[in-house]
Amino acid sequence: MTTMTAQTTQVYAVFIKATPEQVWEAITTPDFTEKYFFGSRVTVTPAAYRGLNGEGADLVVGEVFEHDPPRRLAHSWRALYDPATAAEDASRVTWELEPQDGGVTKLTVVHDRLEGAPATAESVAGGWSYVLSGLKTLLETGQPLVG
Amino acid sequence: MDDDDRVFKALADPTRRHLLDRLHERDGRTLTELESELAMTRFGVMKHLRVLEDAGVVTTRRSGREKLHFLNPVPIRLIHDRWIDKYTERRVAALADLKQELEESA
């Protein structure tokens, strides 16, 4: 997505035919995340959020503020994959998982506090849609998106 | 109506596309702000926003007493991944076949 000035609060939502437990596992387990999150292996503890590339180098690091499986996860976000984003202030990512009727979970990702991170805001503006579309496809079909 | 139907329906209206463009320009707006940029009654804007929300392309968050509207591009991305990718892939393949055929017969 090409935006002149990327938004400092970005909200993304997707309905996934899966339980909150399954969605939680898919966003916190490295074997899952590498299939839809630009290949990054994400680990989440009650203290830290980390996304590593295949060689084990940090792509994204964050401090976990809220860890309430399978309902809510909030952490800071520093993108180290690019020198421009790595030099910026940390932003914040909040994952909200809400069970709906019919075995569906509404997943909302809010990426905010981006005021001190314009390059990060620009970088993630197109990325989150791709990631969440891939996550939904993976959970509903068992297959990662191709291409 | 399934999810894709709702998204196509939401996009099949110039006013609703205009609202999405306004949100793309600046996100997290109130109804009052959006209304001020359209030559339309508050009720009319609300009706269009409702269709956009039902399709999931607009999502709302409460901030104090205000209800803020955000563009949610994920359903459009899903349509892109589900439909557009598939057809462009074929079109590229068809053009490649055509090129090969023309070159062979030349």
E strand or H helix at A132? helix A118-141
Among A36-40, A73-77, A142-146, B58-62, the range scoring the smallest mean pLDDT is A142-146
Where does the pLDDT of residue A7 fall: very low under 50, low under 70, confident under 90, or very high at 90 and above?
confident
ipTM value of the model? 0.84
DSSP states along B18-41: HHHHHHHHS-SB-HHHHHHTSSS-
Domains and CATH numbers, chain A: 10-141 (3.30.530.20)
What are the pLDDT digits (tens) for B3-53? Answer: 889 999 999 999 999 999 999 999 999 999 999 988 899 999 999 999 999
Using only C-alpha atoms, chain B has a radius of gyration, in whole angstroms, of 19
pTM of the entire predicted model: 0.86
Cβ within 8 Å, pair A13-B59: yes
Residue of B nearest to A133 (CA): B78
The closest CB to that of A147, out of B28, B77, B85, belongs to B85
For the record, the structure tokens of A25 come out as 């596992």
Domains and CATH numbers, chain B: 3-105 (1.10.10.10)
End-to-end alpha-carbon separation of chain B, Å?
50
Q: In A, which residues are within 8 Å of B24 by CB distance? A: 3
Cβ-based neighbours of B92, under 8 Å, separated by 6 or more:
none
Where does the pLDDT of residue A1 fall: very low under 50, low under 70, confident under 90, or very high at 90 and above?
very low
- Contact in structure between A24 and A41 (CB atoms under 8 Å): no
Cβ within 8 Å, pair B72-A12: yes
